[in-house]
Amino acid sequence: MKNAMTIDVEDYFHVSAFARHIPREHWEHLPCRVERNVERILVLLAEHGTHATFFTLGWVAERYPGLVRRIVAAGHELASHGYAHRRASEQSRAQFRTDITRAKCILEDTAGVPVLGYRAPSFSINHHNLWALDELAQAGYRYSSSIYPVRHDHYGMPDAPRFAHHPRGQDGVMELPATTVQLFGRNLPAAGGGWFRLLPYPISRWMLNRVNRRDGQPGIFYFHPWEIDPDQPRQRGVGAKTRFRHYVNLSRMEGRLNRLLEDFQWDRMDRIFLNATH
């Protein structure tokens, strides 16, 4: 069974947990590392003959159009992570509409391909803003990967379905949740991110195997370019929990990704869930 490999293309200073410490107006003046990190990811995927979906910020695409074109030229799917890395839950409906439309236009104009997928920063669609899915459909998106069916202090909708579904009816966008494993009546995150860096790799491998074999479903894995960059600038003044979550095991991430790419089969979101042929 093929699983979906996804990358959220953002830089270290875009991270929501750093929002209180890094003002948006400072972004332009910080050393960007996203281009070199994505290039490393492209090499890693090519070595394993793997294609993936790159949920890319419009902010990044504006500044690195050549990188966006290289992603597409390598056979990967280009999808949207919004423009300015604002949580959907912190935007009005009109602001969200502007953000997702702007990002889609920038990405499509830059790469010359349709953008069908969207992932909200910090999985920030939940019971309180399901209207966001209607806006995505109106803007021309086909699917979302923005509702994480877990309990978390920053996001989550634990009672949401664990696998592909249409929250707003068959005519609405398809929601493709990041992968969870159900144990003792609770959904546990099994899709990557900080948990993948924290837990021993065999646990992550076991969880994905369980979803493939017991649930009979493809998994959806995600990570960020800054997670393979242990030399990124360290932020001062952040809380202990945020510091731990962001920096834990960065030096081990690339090695673990190598094992993950060897142990499972991977492909793009659109091919797995939309039966796309390109």
Indicate the pTM of the whole model: 0.96
Give me the numbers of helices (H) and strands (E) for the chain, helices first please.
10, 10
Question: In the predicted model, is pLDDT for residue 16 greater than 90?
Answer: no
Lowest average pLDDT, out of 13-17, 133-137, 197-201, goes to 13-17
- Predicted pLDDT at 41: 98
Lowest average pLDDT, out of 23-27, 106-110, 126-130, 208-212, goes to 23-27
Using DSSP bridges, classify how beta strands 180-183 and 186-189 pair: parallel, antiparallel or unpaired: antiparallel
Mean pLDDT of the chain, nearest integer: 94
Task: Please give the average per-residue pLDDT across 173-180, as a whole number.
Answer: 96
Report which DSSP code applies to 278: -
Question: In the predicted model, is pLDDT for residue 212 greater than 80?
Answer: yes
Q: pLDDT class for 36, splitting at 50, 70, 90?
A: very high
> pLDDT tens digit string along 77-97?
999 999 999 999 999 999 999
Using DSSP bridges, classify how beta strands 117-118 and 143-144 pair: parallel, antiparallel or unpaired: parallel
Question: In the predicted model, is pLDDT for residue 154 greater than 70?
Answer: no
Q: Identify the structural domains of the chain with CATH numbers, from first to last.
A: 2-273 (3.20.20.370)
Question: In the predicted model, is pLDDT for residue 153 greater than 70?
Answer: no
- Predicted pLDDT at 152: 64
**Whose CA is closest to 67, among 119, 22, 106, 12?**
106
Pair of tokens at residue 16: 């929501």
- Predicted pLDDT at 92: 98
- Predicted pLDDT at 218: 98
Q: Dihedrals φ, ψ of 55, to 5°?
A: -80, 105
Task: Please give the average per-residue pLDDT across 119-148, as a whole number.
Answer: 96
**Whose CA is closest to 86, among 50, 137, 129?**
129
Contact (CB, 8 A) for 60 and 71: no
Lowest average pLDDT, out of 56-60, 236-240, 252-256, goes to 236-240
Task: Please give the average per-residue pLDDT across 100-105, as a whole number.
Answer: 98
